[in-house]
Each structure stands twice: as structure tokens, then as C-alpha cells.
A = this chain, B = another copy of it.
Amino acid sequence: MNVRKKLSASSEDYLEAIYNLVSLHKVARSKDIAESLGVSRASVTGAIKLLSDKGLVDYKPYGYVYLTEKGGKEAAAVAKRHTIIETFFVKVLGVDQQEAESAACKAEHALGSTIIPRLLSFTEFYCEQDNIAAEFKKFCKSKGI
């Protein structure tokens, strides 16, 4: 409980998966977590125990998994980073949705509180500029990208 230490990428992934499942189905089941992360059920049990030790998840054997308040905040933060990065990839770089999604999944663990707010601001700023996206597309085409 209450270990003040940065979460591993893996733990963040589990937290995010739980967060998304809860958003969709009100509840997160071990099997669905396993499926959404492409991991065995046994691995989920192990990961959940770690999260539980850190006070991020409420869990009793054979029961559903719930985020604690603290876990919910962490998860929401990860999900937000994910969205900001994905949006930047799509709206600014012009990457297609699926690629952007899977790239954001990896990058969300690497970018912190210096980069993320600026990335968000930049995306907002960029989207306000008239025509610039079209200009960039032209630029890319001229370079054969």
C-alpha cells in the first residue's frame, strides 16, 4: 500500500485496461483484462495483486476488480495521456486512426508532464490554423511521404 514510486509500463497498461472495461461494462473481469491486453489469465492475477499491494485496485479472489480512488486517478491520467498523444498523431501528423492508437499505447508510458501539456497545447493551436494541415499534406506529397 501507498508506495510512492512510478508505475511500470505494464502496471499502467493493466490500469488503463481496467479503466476502459469499467467505462464500457461497469465492471472489469479478469478474463476481459487478459483478452484486451493479449495476456494469460494467470498473468492478470499476478498483475492485479501488484496493483492491489499498491492500493490502486480493490480485489477479492474470485471477485470483480475495482479501481480505488487513487487507482482511478492514475488510470484516468494514463488514459488522458493516451488520448492527447493519439490526437496529436491523427490531427497533426496525419497518421491513420489505428496506427495512431497503437503507437499512442506505447508512447503513453514514455511521455511525462513536461511534454504532454505542450503536446496538447500544440495540437489545439495547430487545429486553429487555417489551411495548415493541407499545406503539410502538400509538403509530404512533394517529399514522397
Contact = CB atoms under 8 A, between A and B. Distances in A.
Contacts of A135: 125
Q: What is the predominant secondary structure among interface residues of chain A facing chain B?
A: helix
Interface residues of A, number: 31
B103 A125 contact: no
A115 B119 CA distance: 15
A24 interface: no
Nearest to A96: B114
A67 B68 CA distance: 48
Contacts of A112: 103, 106
A112 B93 CA distance: 14
A143 interface: yes
Interface in A5-62: none
Interface of A: 89, 92-95, 99, 103, 106-107, 109-112, 114-115, 117-119, 121-122, 124-125, 128-129, 132, 135-136, 139-140, 143, 145
